[in-house]
Amino acid sequence: MLTINLFNGLVYGALLIVMCSGLALIYGLRRVVNFAHGSLYMLGAYLGYSISLHSNFWVALVAAPAIMALFGVLLDRYGFRLLQDRDPLTVVLVTFGLLLVIEDLVQTTWGKSNLSVPVPEALAFSVDLFGTPVPAYRLSVIVIGLLVALGLSLWLRFSKVGLFVRAASTDPVTTSMQGVNTDFLSAGVVGLGTALAGLAGVVAAPFLSLSPSMSADVIIDSFVVVVIGGLGSLAGAFIAALVLGMVQAIGAVYLPDAAVLLPFVFMIGILIWKPSGFAGSRT
């Protein structure tokens, strides 16, 4: 019982890692908290649903994030870039407006009823984990989460573009004076962040049902993760995502009635202790 719950906590934590790394990347470069990130996740999930209906899940896994990446680049070019001199809260409110538009768009296109995506056949079996059978698909979600975390960390740490991204996150003006095209870089990073939201959506589709309320649930948890991890910090977000997934999983076993409130209690506890989060020096 506990093993399977801890396992599910890890699965949810991995999903949050994919979500929150997108949020943190966009915040790092554009100083924008994207309130529409949950809606982009939902859009990715529904796109994945439609694509896998017409071809299969694996095509959707590549195509939906690719479409979202394009959307992200356009969002940066015709949204964030034009608003970069405005107050951060202004841009936040713009993303809030975008959220409303996307939610309506999804409801109009795919309807209000719950939809589901079948688990791809290649992964429709169980794996034995410490004597408990667990679905292979969920195990691969954990793998995807860890790959995203590892890939992003290595990319930011060791590649030249990663160096530019880190530099631009710290000081965009000086970075562009050194000859880095920060507008181009930002468009790429916002595209990547949006693609990650789309990826999270596609990956979540086979084990969470698709409904117009799916964005609200995940964005709340993502915000909790990003705030307690420290805004803009990837490592902080990774740790916070896994811890939050675990807290919810353990709560579901021992305190089923209060499981909804646990993230709240957890967050308040962390914030009393450290107002700017685990890794929060860059708020």
Partner 1 sequence: MSLKKSSLGAVVALGLGAVVALSVSSSTLLSLFTQSIIYAVFALGVGVLLKQNGMVSFGHALFFGGASYLLGILLQLQLVSAELAIFLTLLAVTAAAFLIGLVIVRVPGVAFGMLTLAIGQMFFLTASRARGVTGGADGMNIDWPSRLFGFPMSQMLKPATMFLVCWSTLVVVVFLLAWLMRTRFGGITEAVRDNEERARFIGITTLLPRAAVYALSAMVTSVAGVLSAMNTGFVSPESMHWSLSGVALMMVVVGGFKALWGPAVGAVVYFMFKDILGEHATHWMTIFGMALIAVIVFSPTGVAGLFDRWVLGKKPSIKVGGH
**What is the 8-class DSSP label of residue 256?**
G
C-beta of 226: minimal distance to partner 1 in Å? 7
What is the number of other CB atoms lying within 10 angstroms of the CB of residue 92? 13
By the 8 A CB rule, do 35 and 219 touch? yes
**What would the two tokens of residue 245 be?**
């997934």
Per DSSP, the three-state class of 128 is strand
Q: Among residues 15 and 180, whose Cβ is nearest to partner 1?
A: 15
Q: Among residues 33 and 119, whose Cβ is nearest to partner 1?
A: 33
What is the number of other CB atoms lying within 10 angstroms of the CB of residue 89? 9
Tokens 């009823």 map to which residue?
A: 113
Q: Among residues 87 and 128, whose Cβ is nearest to partner 1?
A: 87
C-beta of 104: minimal distance to partner 1 in Å? 4
C-beta of 235: minimal distance to partner 1 in Å? 17
- Cα Rg of the chain (Å, integer): 19
**What is the 8-class DSSP label of residue 230?**
-
Q: Among residues 113 and 128, whose Cβ is nearest to partner 1?
A: 113
C-beta of 100: minimal distance to partner 1 in Å? 3
C-beta of 119: minimal distance to partner 1 in Å? 27
What is the identity of the amino acid at 108?
Answer: T
| Count of positions (residues) in the chain | 283
**Interface residue list for partner 1 (CB under 8 A):** 33, 35, 83, 86-90, 92-94, 96-101, 103-105, 108, 216, 219-220, 223-224, 226-227, 231, 260-261, 263-264, 267-268, 271-272, 275-277, 283
Q: Among residues 107 and 159, whose Cβ is nearest to partner 1?
A: 107
